Structure 1
């Protein structure tokens, strides 16, 4: 039996998959998600079941992969402009969040106890080219 649909991407959380799904639909590519409801119910099982699968029709696979390649994997600012490293001026910059300070750890613990999102997280950018770590002001 021939497959009608093909997986083009896998995501840890359904929110990430929904963003790409919206982009595909804007490009006229019919998509659907697999295992998103299971992971929305219990996010801890994402790795166990292989994440949220984004599927497209087999005939749309190549076009979907082209759209995926056109999406920047690196950080952009609020206006959509590429963030550049202040040291080497590379645009290969990724955002990382951490709980390193005492204040961040305190808010993380309180948030965990009351089932809320952390209120204070340190956001740090890492340059993939020169490994420089920096914060945006």
Structure 2
């Protein structure tokens, strides 16, 4: 879950944006975590991105906003959330090549089935019905799967 922390705030504002997400599902997860700690959270642009996910980068993603007085507490909680991929037991996934813990999960279109699904989705404006996922190490750029 890519969390980008934004530390800029104007004290004259009532709300401060503390994170941005590409998809609203990621923002909803973090929103639940912050609300569990008693912080009121507001999402903006989530409905627009749910309607058309392709505009996420154009409008700056889903913004996670909190009351200005809760900004420091929210940022500390965001910093405590593990950014990189974990396995089913919650342990960090390590790269088999360089043993780095900086491993991300991403989609890939590299086989015929993934490509066909992508093209059908693009042609008919529907979500792809098949995608392939892989892990990628940020250090050595090794791509791998876990059995």
Whether TM-score is above 0.5 comes out as yes
Displacement after TM superposition at 1:46 (Å): 2.1
2:21 touches 2:27 (CA, 8 Å); kept in 1?
yes
Q: Number of residue pairs matched?
A: 136
Deviations 1:56-113 (A, max 9, x none): 0111101111111111111111222111111222211111211111122123334443
- The corresponding residue for 2:17 is 7
Residue in structure 1 matching 2:98, options 88, 99, 105: 88
Cα distance change of structure 1 residues 10 and 61 upon mapping to structure 2, 3 Å threshold = same
Secondary structure in 1 matching 2:89:
coil
The worse-fitting range, judged by mean Cα deviation, of 58-67 and 127-136 is 127-136
Mean CA deviation greater in 85-94 or 39-48: 39-48
Distance in 1 of aligned mates of 2:52 and 2:114: 25
Check 1:77–1:61 CA distance in 2 against 1; reply closer, same or farther (3 A cut).
same
Q: Distance in 2 between matches of 1:56 and 1:83?
A: 31
Unaligned ranges ≥5, structure 2: 1-10
Q: Distance in 2 between matches of 1:54 and 1:114?
A: 28
In the other structure, the counterpart of 1:72 is: 82
Equivalence for 1:43: 53
Give the CA RMSD over aligned residues: 1.9
The TM-score normalised by the length of structure 1 is: 0.87
Q: Distance in 1 between matches of 2:34 and 2:57?
A: 24
Cross-structure match for 2:126: 115
| 1:116-135 matches, cutoff 5 A | 116-119=127-130, 121-135=131-145
